[in-house]
Amino acid sequence: MKIKRTMILGIIVTLILSVISKFLATFLPQLGAESIAMLLGIILGNTVFTNKRFAPGMKWAEKYPIEIGIALLGLTVTFKTIENLGINGIAFILIQMFLTIAVVLFMGERLFKVSSESAMLMGAGNAVCGSSAIAAVAPVIGADDDQRRTTVATVSLTGVLLLLVLPLLGPHLIGHNNVLLGALVGGTVQSVGQVVGTAALINPTVVTYATIFKMLRIIMLTVVVLVFARMAQKKASNSKIMNQAKKFNVPWFIIVFVVFLLINSFLPLPHILTGSAKEIASFFGIVNLAGIGLNLKFKTIKDSGVRFLSYGFTTGVFQILLAVILIKVLF
């Protein structure tokens, strides 16, 4: 989308907040830059930056940089990533993701009575990679901005909760095996930054294993987007939506993600390229959360707050229990 003059002020504010959050994360690694950006964004967006002149740029910043970030993630993973996990590791992630999505959709429809779009966003965000997955799924299922922002906030706050709890609970639940602790963290925590932050609170070796497990979830992002797109098509109830569904095209950033993954798998790319891609993708993830926080109004949180927070908390508890059971069975 072309940047208009009316957007510049809001974009600058969002970028400054993102940089500040990244700096603050060096002092608060337990939270991570993404969570700091979202929390500060919610506070500032409802107090300091309430003037409508900021809105166009903030809305742009929360939607479009993350698409570039998702595309660049393809340069951070390879098919070797999958091979390193072994058959049991791959089975663990695939079963964990499938059952997380299935149970989250069931709870959304039967227990928490949220819209099907919100349930799908919650499923994608928790099963794959937090706000990046939500950003990828939202346009293909026709989710509106409030649904997207609310689910991102819920999933991110659930990730913060897991970040604080897993380093304490993990060793008691599955022992001190670094591979298994990496599976627990990498298979449950939402964003890449939160995975690294959670694992770092255990020990550096767990960071390595947790990141590998997390990368397989990211590799599955394209599959999840396509599955939810098909589900949205089947749920379409009127001719206009059906016509839009039939015209569905895979988002450009998902195509680029797959192309980059293939290139990175079969060609030796310089470390400076893959490392830069990882840094840029990480920063755009922070920008995404900052923008979402700035655009997320207290009224939106209030309207769905208790229900969605309960939804997110229940999902987090389920993910931990499921991961522990699968680890006991598969490893």
Q: Could you read off the pLDDT of 29-84 as tens digits, one per residue?
A: 777 788 888 889 989 999 999 888 998 999 898 878 888 887 888 888 788 877 77
Total Cβ atoms within 10 A of residue 7: 19
Specify the number of domains making up the chain.
1
H-assigned helices in 73-177: 79-110, 116-124, 131-141, 145-174
Question: How many Å is the maximal CA-CA distance in the chain?
Answer: 57
Mean pLDDT of 97-106: 96
Q: Which domain holds residue 203?
A: 5-330
In angstroms, rounded to a whole number, what is the distance separating the alpha carbons of residues 82 and 87?
Answer: 9
* pLDDT given for residue 316 in this prediction: 94
* pLDDT given for residue 243 in this prediction: 52
Total Cβ atoms within 10 A of residue 284: 24
Residue 240 has pLDDT above 80, yes or no: no
Residue 160 has pLDDT above 80, yes or no: no
**Close Cβ partners of 59 (under 8 Å, ≥ 6 residues apart):** 10, 145, 291, 295
Mean pLDDT of 160-168: 84
First to last CA, the chain: 47
Percent of the chain exceeding pLDDT 90 equals 36
* pLDDT given for residue 330 in this prediction: 94
Q: Which residue has the tokens 């990211």?
A: 218
Count of residues for the chain? 331
* pLDDT given for residue 282 in this prediction: 83
248-270 residue pLDDT tens: 556 687 788 889 989 999 988 89
Mean pLDDT of 83-106: 93
Burial of 147 (0-12, 13-18, 19+ CB in 10 A): buried
* pLDDT given for residue 202 in this prediction: 86
From the list 315, 291, 317, the residue with the least C-alpha distance to 148 is 291
71-92 residue pLDDT tens: 888 888 788 877 778 899 999 9
What the block records as the tokens of 216 is 């397989």
278-287 residue pLDDT tens: 889 888 888 8
Mean pLDDT of 196-217: 81
* pLDDT given for residue 96 in this prediction: 96
Mean pLDDT of 15-35: 88
* pLDDT given for residue 249 in this prediction: 58
Q: Whole-prediction pTM value?
A: 0.73
Mean pLDDT of 109-136: 91
Residue 241 has pLDDT above 50, yes or no: no
Give the confidence band of 303 by pLDDT, cuts at 50, 70, 90. Answer: low
Residue 214 has pLDDT above 70, yes or no: yes
In angstroms, rounded to a whole number, what is the distance separating the alpha carbons of residues 331 and 91?
Answer: 10
* pLDDT given for residue 244 in this prediction: 47
What the block records as the tokens of 8 is 């510049």
* pLDDT given for residue 328 in this prediction: 94
